[in-house]
């Protein structure tokens, strides 16, 4: 997921500032590069609490227009 976020356009990310794009990518870096230093309980808690809402939000972005509704047609 982190690599996919890295490849998103700046325009898409800035159009949806409510999504913690930088945090998603940063989490990927920690997991990949410091695997043995990752607290598995914290990782599990983050996945349990934040992955569902993040997935819901990203699915909404994919289903709708790329621009936020407020700026569409301006």
Q: Annotated catalytic residue: which of 6, 16, 33, 57?
A: 33
Is 57 tagged catalytic? no
Assign 19 to helix, strand or coil.
coil
Q: Is 33 a catalytic residue?
A: yes
Q: What is the dihedral of CA 61, 65, 66, 67, to 10 degrees?
A: -120
Indicate which residue of 6, 16, 28, 50 is catalytic. 28
Residues with a known catalytic role: 28, 33
């Amino acid at each position: 997921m982190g690599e996919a976020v890295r490849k998103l356009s700046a325009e898409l990310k800035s159009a949806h500032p409510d999504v913690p794009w930088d945090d998603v990518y940063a989490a990927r870096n920690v997991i990949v590069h410091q695997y043995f230093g990752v607290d598995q309980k914290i990782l599990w808690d983050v996945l349990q609490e934040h992955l569902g809402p993040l997935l819901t939000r990203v699915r909404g972005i994919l289903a709708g227009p790329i621009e936020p509704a407020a700026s569409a047609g301006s």
